Each structure stands twice: as structure tokens, then as C-alpha cells.
Chain A
Amino acid sequence: MASETRPLSPHLQVYRWQLTSVLSILHRAAGLALAAGTILLIWWLVAAAIGPGAYAGIRDFLGSWIGLLLLFGWSLTLYYHLCNGIRHLFWDTAHGLELPQVYAGGWTVLAATAALTAMSWIIGLIHWSA
């Protein structure tokens, strides 16, 4: 069929999921999540500035399992956006744009994200029990 050889426009319904597109949309999702995460950051700062009572409130919240889950998600998101952001900056210098390099970079970003997140939490948890 002639139609099978025609180029496909990248509509979500017809385009197969693949590493390139998934990492691309994840970068945007991570950026949005980080922007939402700044609310937590400002809450933390302002609570500390208000006084011990307010600070205890956010400390207890972050220490609860929902808080820890949020912090874990935040660290994962931040590291992903950071690593993939560096990949973006590298692309902006017109390097690494061949398809095999794009794939290699993508897997590197995923590995680095996992490694950095794991490392941070291991360091954090060691300090915790000490």
C-alpha cells in the first residue's frame, strides 16, 4: 500500500510511543511539577520565618509518609529535569543530534536520574538514623 510509506505526522493517536517522545513530554511534565513544587519551597521558607510553631507544622507534614512521598517525587523530578536539561543545552550547541546519539543520551539521562536519586536518598537516610 502506498499510504504505508508516506510520512506520519506526530499525532498522539497514530504515533508509536518511543524513548524520544516520552522523554520529551516528561521534561515538560517535570518542569510543570517543579513549578508546582516551588509552592512547597516557599511554604518551608515562610514557615521558618514566621516562627517555631509554623515551622513544626511543615516539618511534621514533610516527615509524614505523604510528605516523604512528595519529597521523593520531587527529587526524582528535579534530577530528571536537570539531567535532561543538560542534554537540551548540549543539543543547543548543535551536538549529539544524530539518532543513535539521541538514544544513547536518553538512556544516559535515565540512568543518571536513577543513580542521583538513589545516591541522595542513601546519603539522606544514613544521616537520618545517625
Chain B
Amino acid sequence: MPETRMRTPLGRAIGLGSAKEGVQHWWMQRVTAVALVPLVVWFVIWVIILTGSGADRAAFIAWLRDPVSAAVWVLLLIAAFYHGALGLQVVIEDYVGNEGARLGLIVVMRLMALLGCILGIVAVAKLSLGA
């Protein structure tokens, strides 16, 4: 309703206004948060079970050999790193005033999140598929 009431036809045609990215960011922060609730509960319970068996490598690998567990691990890694990167970006935007430094930090942070996520997925894949 505000869209039609508050904006002129010209305003709508050229589409100036918000950058239209904030909503996506905010929304994905919520979506990943909701996804993380069951994933994190699953993860913590498994880590406790693993601790019970002495947390040895064989038990860890046996867990990852199960295809469903490996898939959930990958989901967890993607959700956690995506959510973390979105969150860290907000913190950087809040505290780093200088525009160049802010953009630089965000780029470095995103690359590190991507690297961590890929490292994790590759490790899960290797352990899950054997080798």
C-alpha cells in the first residue's frame, strides 16, 4: 500500500530509494538462524555421544561415514558460516567508520568465511567417502 500511495509514478519507474539489499540480508540472517536451531542441537548431542566413546578418530569417522550425518554436517557448515558472515558484516558496519577500511574488512571477512566453509566441507567429504 505505501508503495502506491507514497511514491510518484516517476519514482516507481526509476526505482530510486533504498538499495534493496538490506531486506535480503536481514531475512537470510533469520532463515539461517532458524535452520541453525535444530542443526546445532543435533551437533551438540552428537559431540556429547562422541565424547563418551573417548572422542577417538575412528568413532568420529564412523559418524561421518553415515551419508545422512555427512549431509547434515555440510548443511550445518553452510548455515553457520553464512549466518556468521552476515552477522559479522553488521558488526563491522556498526563500528568501522572509514568507508575504505569497512569495505576492505568486509571483503577479507567474507573470503575467510568462504575459505573456512570450503575447508570444512572438503574435510567432511574426504572422511565420509574414505581415503
Binding site for B on A (CB under 8 A): 28, 31-32, 34-35, 38-39, 41-42, 45-46, 48-49, 52, 55-56, 59, 62, 75, 78, 82, 85-86, 88-89, 92, 120, 123-124, 127-128, 130
Contact = CB atoms under 8 A, between A and B. Distances in A.
Nearest to B115: A42
25 contacts: A31-B91, A32-B91, A34-B84, A41-B120, A42-B116, A42-B123, A45-B127, A46-B120, A48-B57, A48-B123, A48-B127, A49-B126, A52-B57, A55-B60, A62-B55, A75-B44, A82-B36, A89-B30, A124-B52, A127-B48, A127-B51, A127-B52, A127-B53, A128-B51, A128-B52
B34 A45 contact: no
Interface string B108-131: 000000001001101110110000
Per DSSP, chain A at the interface is helix
Contacts, number: 75
Per DSSP, chain B at the interface is helix
Contacts of A56: 57
Given A31-B84, A38-B84, A46-B123, 12 more contacts: A38-B116, A42-B116, A48-B61, A49-B127, A56-B57, A78-B44, A86-B37, A89-B34, A120-B44, A120-B48, A127-B51, A128-B51
Contact of B52 (A42, A75, A92, A130): A130
A123 B48 CA distance: 7
Contacts of A38: 80-81, 84, 116
Contacts of B37: 82, 85-86
Interface residues of B, number: 31
Interface of B: 30, 33-34, 36-37, 40, 44, 48-49, 51-53, 55-57, 60-61, 80-81, 84, 87-88, 91, 116, 119-120, 122-124, 126-127
A46 B64 CA distance: 13
Nearest to B85: A35
Nearest to A55: B57
What are the nearest 4 A-B pairs in CB distance? A127-B52, A49-B123, A45-B123, A55-B57
Interface hub of B49, B81, B116 (most chain A Cβ within 10 A) = B116
Contacts of B119: 42, 45-46
Contacts of B48: 120, 123-124, 127
Contacts of B30: 89, 92
